[in-house]
């Protein structure tokens, strides 16, 4: 029974992610909500996590907390009629969810930038 509830929840999240992607391209959605919708969908669909899963506990927090909270927030900001239409369209397109190479590139840039900042900080510490 719990297994079925978890499967249903996971399917709903997958559908809502695709719906957010679609809502992010809808002209009836305000620009700031589009930005949040596309960012949330891109991050969740990106093959690269901002916090890698191999880091104990914290690695899974983004998948288990940040993504569902982001989805919840953006769904509340999208006009209900638009969200309903986007969910219906996501159900129709369930076999071809969007991917996000751009999001993967942005996550790689964040990691590279963080690595660079840490390396400069270490260099300065060792040079002093």
Instruction: Find the radius of gyration of the CA atoms of the chain.
Output: 18
Q: Tell me, yes or no, if the pTM score tops 0.75.
A: no
Number of domains in the chain: 1
**Residues 37-72: tens digit of each pLDDT:** 878 877 777 766 667 777 777 777 777 788 888 889
* Residues 10-27: tens digit of each pLDDT: 788 888 888 888 888 889
pLDDT tens, residue by residue, 82-127: 999 999 998 888 765 555 566 667 777 888 888 899 999 999 989 8
Its domain, for residue 112, covers 2-127
DSSP 19-50: HHHHHTT-TTS-HHHHHHHHHHHHHHH-SS-S
pLDDT in the model for residue 30: 92
Whole-number Å distance between alpha carbons of 106 and 80 = 30
- Cα diameter, the chain: 61
Helices marked H in 46-79 — which ranges? 58-61, 67-77
pLDDT of residue 50: 67
Per residue, the 3-state secondary structure of 105-126, as one string, reads HHHHHHHHHHHHHHHHHHHHHH
Q: CA 25 → CA 38, 51, 72, distances in Å?
A: 8, 27, 18
């Amino acid at each position: 029974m719990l297994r079925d509830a978890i499967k249903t929840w996971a399917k709903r999240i997958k559908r809502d992610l695709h719906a957010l992607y679609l809502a992010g391209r809808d002209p009836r959605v305000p620009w700031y909500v589009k930005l949040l919708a596309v960012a949330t969908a891109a991050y969740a669909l990106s093959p690269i996590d901002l916090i890698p899963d191999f880091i104990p506990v914290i690695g899974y927090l983004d998948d288990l907390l940040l993504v569902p909270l982001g989805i919840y927030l953006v769904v509340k900001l999208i006009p209900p009629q638009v969200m309903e239409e986007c969910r219906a369209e996501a159900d129709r397109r369930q076999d071809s969810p969007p991917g996000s190479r751009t999001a993967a590139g942005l996550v790689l840039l964040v990691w590279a930038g963080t690595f660079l900042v840490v390396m400069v900080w270490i260099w300065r510490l060792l040079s002093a």
